[in-house]
Structure 1
Amino acid sequence: MSPVSKERRKQLRDDDANWKLGIFYFCPRDPSFLIPKRVGIGWSLNFGSPWSLLLLLVVIAVLVWGVFF
């Protein structure tokens, strides 16, 4: 994957097309795992990153394990 400049990352994060339902950031072209929230304070996941999907699967697996076992 080619490096993305800081200016290009800012453009991607400001683009409404990359925000699903206005709250979920999905942009495979942005290599960042975590991004600043669009509104407010904190961080959001880039759901276009394979690492965030892996994190979600691990969290779901731990929750299911805790409930059923």
Structure 2
Amino acid sequence: MKNPTEEQLEKWHNDPNNWKLGLFYFNPEDERVFPPKRVKWAGWTVNFANTKSVLAFIGIVVITLAIIYYK
């Protein structure tokens, strides 16, 4: 779905079926790379149903580990 409305984004966010174990966001319809966490003021999370989101997450982890290792 391209350019979902604010109402649709809110509906996805509030749908408990999109949150696995209450922690992991999994919504194949949501194309955002980093959607807000379940508690929105806490930051962003990864949409594990979105390949771009998972690749961005892996990239961040690899870069962080490389910085730590080579420091």
Could you say which TM-score interval applies, normalised by the shorter chain? 0.7 to 0.9
Q: Deviations over 1:14-42 (max 9, x none)?
A: 00000001000000101111111112511
8 Å contact 2:46–2:57 — kept in the other structure?
Answer: no
Q: 1:11 to 1:57 in 2, by over 3 A?
A: same
- Please say if 1:7 is aligned against 2:7: yes
1:45 corresponds to which residue?
46
Provide the TM-score with structure 2 as the length reference: 0.71
Percent identity, aligned pairs only? 36
In the TM superposition, structure 1's runs of 4+ consecutive aligned residues that sit over 4 Å from their partners are 59-64
Q: Which runs of 5+ in 1 are unaligned?
A: none
- The structure with the largest strand share of the pair is 1
Gaps of 5+ in 2: none
CA-CA distance at 1:59 after TM superposition:
4.8
Which of the pair is proportionally richer in helix?
2
Q: TM-score, normalised by structure 1?
A: 0.72
